[in-house]
Amino acid sequence: MSKYTEEELKIELENKEYEYGFYTDIESDTFPNGLNEDIIRALSNKKEEPEWMTEWRLEAFRAWEQMVEPEWANVHYEKPNFQAISYYSAPLKKPKYDSLDEVDPELLDTFKKLGISIDEQKKLAGVAVDIVMDSVSVATTFKKTLAEKGIIFCSISEAIKEHPELVKKYLGTVVPQKDNFYAALNSAVFSDGSFCYIPKGVRCPMELSTYFRINQAGTGQFERTLVVADEGSYVSYLEGCTAPSRDENQLHAAVVELIALDDAEIKYSTVQNWFPGNKEGKGGVYNFVTKRGLCEKNAKISWTQVETGSAVTWKYPSCVLKGDNSVGEFYSIAVTNNYQQADTGTKMIHLGKNTKSTIISKGISAGKSQNSYRGLVQIGARAENARNFSQCDSLLMGNSCGAHTFPYIESKNTTAKIEHEATTSKIGEDQVFYCNQRGIPTEKAIALIVNGFSKEVLNKLPMEFAVEAQKLLEISLEGSVG
Amino acid sequence: MLSIKNLHASVEDKEILRGINLEVKAGEVHAIMGPNGSGKSTLSSVIAGKEEYEVTDGEIFLEGEDIGELAPEERAHKGVFLSFQYPVEIPGVSVTNFMKTAINESRKAKGLEEMPANEMLKLIREKSELLEIDRKFLSRSLNEGFSGGEKKRNEIFQMAMLEPKLAILDETDSGLDIDALRIVANGVNKLRSKDNAVVVITHYQRLLDYIVPDYVHVLYNGKIVKSGGKELAYELEEKGYDWIKSEN
């Protein structure tokens, strides 16, 4: 994929669009390519943001200009040309297609395998839907229930306008503008994303899913999410979707910030299924994400992720355990197939006393892919009795893939207890033959073995999501053996 | 039931089976004995369809149908069961889940619906009672951390669940103490019927005290060199395999 440039991708996508007959007239509301202060001002202006927000973006941009793209991750890719990207495009108001017949049959086939209903299929593929559709009414009831509890769940753009005091107070407090190259870029140009606030003592009665948020389509390549759980509250948040996301943007740099105040709990689950590129490793999304949560006293944050998509993934959902007795958890399944590359893991920063963290990482590599776990467990000088348990398991399929583990441990407190376990195994011909002999065909046997391997993490996902994720694992590894 | 004609098979160009002929009728138990390296395990793998073995000549029929070209899972769907000498571990997959998948894949191949959960539970209960298996055992990961005896009992439990026409027991006695051996053998005996057949592959005679064969065949150097009734097993035990080696 080294020779494959963004320009070529663009050309390919243009042809593809033409092929499927949904080439739309160029939106008059699209910015020229390139990034500078004027573009950022124009972007902020377009989104009708207050002055402080514009300044915040500019500050981030100035920091970003001084930064260099990091190279320490175990991934290789052609660096994006940041001046060749358009940083604002008005959300498409027109549906992409008029009927399902126009949608890529391969995509529909995948929808079918995932058991997605026709209405949902239409919504996901961007097909015009009838006025009355189940999910719309679901979303309406959904909003009503939340409002009754005082829960705010809206787009970040809306939050900046409607709840500036909350956004101003928390935005950038966990992932500062200057945190890293991609976070700085995101801070400067983030297009949209989600905002969620759970008031004191409120237990959010349902899983909050971006999926149900109306007008969620087209959040763009620089997504920004901010979740604030006030004292003693609880929320379970689902991000992403098992349906394949074919996005025309090659580069995705999202930032997610979680804030769990005293005694609060946030459960954040992600299923990531961006386009991984084709079998030869061409195309595919670069997914460079910064996700971090802050735990105050007795608070808890759990990250659960199932990563199957993207050509290149760079992502370390982390917890800053600032408050005493706070708890951080990270459960991850990362699947790479064909030429995919993933460098993912977590950081657990123990600052408070009696803080506890658990890391369970399952990496599955197939084809010619490279799958790396990178994790940091850091115990601060004041973190008396901090505990960490890490387990990193890798499963290999075939002889051309790679699994790597980079655990970093830094402890400044002698009372800390840190455990790390790691295993690497390979799906053996003997295992497959054993299954075959019991009447289980090879594809199904692989799925069974992979699901068994991933079980500890799948079990952490909300029920419905877990079933979908299981099917997704099967599909992601289809054709990887044989 | 099983009919093998002039079977030749090799692995990595090395010929292991050199013309096997075997007829097993429904309701019969056949024992195949032989010294190490005579081709016993190869024979069971070839019948089950393991790919790394290349059949260079001969035919394998199951109930009159040539199964020589079928994939291992297709042979399983037709009723071939192999109790493994070394059952493999599948972490995170419970015995119950594994069996459910196996049964439903077989049903799917026959154009049947999945077995309803209550039926599945009933079957599991019935078979575990028959074989005196503690049901707690069934929620453990397949073969992971199982003792030698547990592994073999689990194989027989799977046989009970799948109700094969032809069961091949490959060195089922290896690694078992006498109590475990008795339990496993009792299980096999309970599953015997006039409609199925059992091929017992073993190195030692002792298993045959519990699973009494109708016929005994001696495999040596990839060929069946002697066949007889169960008394042949005793003769072998007494005279040792050198007796066979010296005659061939």
**Number of C-alpha atoms within 13 angstroms, CB side, residue A96?**
19
Torsion of CA B207, B209, B212, B213, to 10 degrees: 60
Residue A324: count of CB within 10 angstroms of its CB: 19
Mutation target to probe the B interface, by most B beta carbons within 10 A, among A440, A442, A444, A456 is A440
Nearest CA in chain A to B80: A437
* Distance between CA atoms of residues A273 and A475, nearest Å: 11
Count contacts between A and B (CB, < 8 Å): 73
The pLDDT of residue A218: 43
Average pLDDT, chain B: 91
Q: What is the mean pLDDT of residues B108-113?
A: 93
Structure confidence by residue, pLDDT tens digits, B119-160: 998 999 999 988 888 888 888 999 999 988 889 999 999 999
The amino acid at B190: K
CA distance B206 to chain A (A): 27
Nearest to A434 among B88, B97, B105 (CB): B88
Selection from A347, A289, A290 nearest residue A320 by Cα:
A347
Name the stretches of chain A with pLDDT < 50. Answer: 1-7, 9-28, 94, 126-137, 212-219, 482
Alpha helices by DSSP H, B86-167: 95-109, 117-130, 148-162
Label residue A350 exposed, middle or buried (CB < 10 Å: 0-12, 13-18, 19+). Answer: buried
* Distance between CA atoms of residues A239 and A234, nearest Å: 16
Q: Do B92 and A451 touch (CB under 8 A)?
A: yes
pTM for this one?
0.81
* Distance between CA atoms of residues B98 and A438, nearest Å: 9
Q: Do B98 and A438 touch (CB under 8 A)?
A: yes
Joined together, the tokens standing for residue A47 give 């989104």
DSSP string, A278-290: -TTS-S--EEEEE
CA distance B49 to chain A (A): 8
Structure confidence by residue, pLDDT tens digits, A179-232: 999 999 999 998 888 899 999 999 998 888 765 433 334 445 788 999 999 999
DSSP reduced 3-state for B85: coil
Nearest to B102 among A433, A439, A454 (CB): A439
Residue given tokens 């098979």 in the structure block: B9
CA distance B107 to chain A (A): 9
Nearest to B77 among A431, A439, A449 (CB): A439
Q: Is A440 on the interface with B (CB under 8 A)?
A: yes
The pLDDT of residue A426: 87
Q: Do A441 and B73 touch (CB under 8 A)?
A: yes
CA distance B101 to chain A (A): 7
Respond yes or no on whether ipTM tops 0.90. Answer: yes
Q: Do A448 and B141 touch (CB under 8 A)?
A: no
Q: Do A456 and B92 touch (CB under 8 A)?
A: yes
Q: Do B93 and A454 touch (CB under 8 A)?
A: no
Structure confidence by residue, pLDDT tens digits, B19-67: 999 999 999 999 999 888 899 999 999 999 998 899 999 999 999 999 9
Q: Which of A164-173, B160-169, B195-204, B231-240 is predicted with the least confidence, judged by mean pLDDT?
A: B231-240
Selection from B198, B214, B164, B156 nearest residue B180 by Cα:
B156
Residue percentage of chain B with pLDDT more than 70? 100
Contact residues of B toward A, CB < 8 A: 48-52, 71-73, 76-77, 80-82, 84, 87-93, 97-98, 101-103, 105-106, 109, 141-142, 158, 162
Label residue B193 exposed, middle or buried (CB < 10 Å: 0-12, 13-18, 19+). Answer: exposed
Q: Is A169 on the interface with B (CB under 8 A)?
A: no
Q: Chain A residues with CB inside 8 Å of B162's CB?
A: 438-439
**Angle value at C-alpha B187, between B181 and B189, nearest 5 degrees:** 100
Joined together, the tokens standing for residue A231 give 């004292």
DSSP reduced 3-state for B88: coil
CA distance A80 to chain B (A): 41
Domains of chain B and any CATH numbers? 2-94+163-247 (3.40.50.300)
CB A285 within 8 A of CB A320: no
